[in-house]
């Protein structure tokens, strides 16, 4: 999974942002990018979201079909990531948007990108913590893959802490 370039090992980090945790993921993005740069990693930011429904008006007429809604969501997320990167003075990174079951799609994206590590920041609510547990369980079968989970803001906890541990 790691390639050799000019005597230094180049690793690949996938930074995952999930539906419902967009704000938390975008806030932690500069921190995760800085860590990836320190590790000499190539970075891909990926946003995972369920397939949206058709947008309808109050008379149940379709205003935007799924395809157009997916294009709108993809463009909005790309602009949000670019805005965060501009605000902190970082260069552009690769950004992808995947639609489907988020837990399955993050596994597919990690395989497609040949990632050495996957980083994400789950939110404090129950669905986000459940999804984080499912992602950890799914990646437990990958011995060479590291998970970087930014946890915090849960009741009874202090500030966000970075915990790097094997899957």
Which domains does the chain show, CATH number per domain? 11-166 (3.40.50.620)
pLDDT of residue 141: 84
| pLDDT tens profile 39-96 | 888 999 999 999 998 888 999 898 888 999 999 999 999 999 999 999 888 878 899 9
pLDDT of residue 156: 46
pLDDT of residue 159: 54
- What letter would DSSP give residue 144? T
Q: Give the span between the Cα atoms of 44 and 56, in whole angstroms.
A: 33
Strands (E), the chain: 3-5, 8-18, 41-49, 55-56, 62-64, 94-99, 117-120, 146-151, 161-166
Are the beta carbons of 95 and 81 closer than 8 angstroms? Answer: yes
pLDDT of residue 123: 85
Q: If you search the block for the tokens 């990693």, which residue do you land on?
A: 41
| pLDDT tens profile 132-163 | 999 999 998 888 899 998 876 544 444 555 55
3-state secondary structure at position 110 = helix
| pLDDT tens profile 110-127 | 999 999 999 998 888 899
pLDDT of residue 163: 52
Q: Is the pLDDT score of 2 beyond 80?
A: no
Mean pLDDT for the stretch of residues 28-43: 89
Q: Give the span between the Cα atoms of 23 and 12, in whole angstroms.
A: 24
């Amino acid at each position: 999974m790691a390639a050799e370039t000019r005597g230094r090992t180049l690793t690949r980090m996938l930074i995952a942002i999930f539906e419902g945790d967009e704000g938390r993921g975008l806030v932690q993005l500069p921190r995760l990018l800085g860590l990836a740069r320190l590790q000499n990693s190539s970075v891909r930011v990926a946003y995972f979201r369920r397939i949206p429904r058709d947008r309808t008006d109050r008379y149940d007429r379709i205003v935007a079909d799924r395809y157009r809604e997916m294009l709108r969501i993809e463009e909005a997320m790309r602009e949000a990531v670019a805005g965060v990167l501009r605000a902190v003075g970082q260069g552009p990174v690769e950004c992808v948007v995947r639609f489907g079951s988020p837990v399955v799609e993050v596994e597919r994206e990690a395989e497609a990108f040949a990632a050495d590590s996957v980083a994400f920041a789950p939110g404090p609510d129950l669905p986000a913590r459940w999804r984080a547990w499912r992602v950890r369980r799914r990646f437990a079968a990958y011995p060479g893959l590291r998970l970087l989970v930014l946890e915090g803001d849960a009741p009874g906890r202090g500030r966000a802490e970075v915990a790097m541990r094997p899957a």
